Structure 1
Amino acid sequence: MFVLSSQILDLCVLATVNKEDTYGYKLTQDLMESISISESTLYPVLRRLQKNNCLSTYDQPYGGRNRRYYQITPEGKRQLKEYIKNWINYKESIDEIVGGDLND
């Protein structure tokens, strides 16, 4: 299994929140469909992205409690575009190294 760097985690979180505002538990479940991540890993990522003005939060009542939702900011959208560009370059570089037919 590959260890995910903080930038790749940021990319995954921003890309997911860019699709729709979401709350922590649902975000974890959505990401777990593709990568191995726990809530204890996710919440520091969310706090860092908030601190860096990439995400904002708002609360919505749910079942008698408030649920905190995360929303991407304009800075978050700018950062997401940069991460996507970097990811494409990184992936192309790895593809060049790995390359070829897996049946060899």
Structure 2
Amino acid sequence: MSKQATEMLKGVLEGIVLAILSERPAYGYEITARLRDQGFADIAEGTVYALLVRVEQRDLVDVEKVPSEKGPPRKVYTLNTRGRDQLGEFWRNWSFLAERIEHLHEGEK
């Protein structure tokens, strides 16, 4: 991934993670795996875990510790009402920006 693409991704990663959690609850490694399945192969687990700490601190998710067969309990993140509101705002902003960028792109042709 290019440096420019990496910087752009940083700006929208929270929205992407909230969108993943809107489908179903998940723990950190599972979120990272789902990102990779969606083509975001260069995202480090540490980046996802740091983001999860931030969304938890901002009360966008509910967290439940679930026993794990392979070690300490896992933190399972569930999108809550505030998180759903934030995701709605993300999609509104995304639509606005995507329309403007596409308009600029079409103007270049």
TM-score (norm 2): 0.83
Letter in 1 for 2:69: G
Q: What is the aligned residue count? A: 101
> 4+ residue runs of structure 1 moved beyond 4 angstroms?
none
Counterpart residue number, 1:99: 106
The one of 4, 25, 29 equivalent to 2:29 is: 25
Letter in 2 for 1:40: G
Find the residue that maps to 1:34 and give its secondary structure. Answer: coil
Distance 2:26 2:99 in 1: 31
Unmatched runs of 5 consecutive residues or more in structure 1: none
- Identical positions, percent: 28
Q: Does 1:69 align with 2:69?
A: no
- How big is the shift at 1:37? 1.2
Unmatched runs of 5 consecutive residues or more in structure 2: none
- How big is the shift at 1:34? 2.7
Q: How does 1:1-40 map to 2 (within 5 A)?
A: 1=2, 2=5, 3=7, 4-6=9-11, 8-32=12-36, 33-35=38-40, 36-40=42-46
Distance 2:70 2:48 in 1: 25
- How big is the shift at 1:84? 0.4
The one of 37, 43, 49 equivalent to 2:49 is: 43
- How big is the shift at 1:64? 5.4
* Higher share in helix: 2
TM-score (norm 1): 0.87
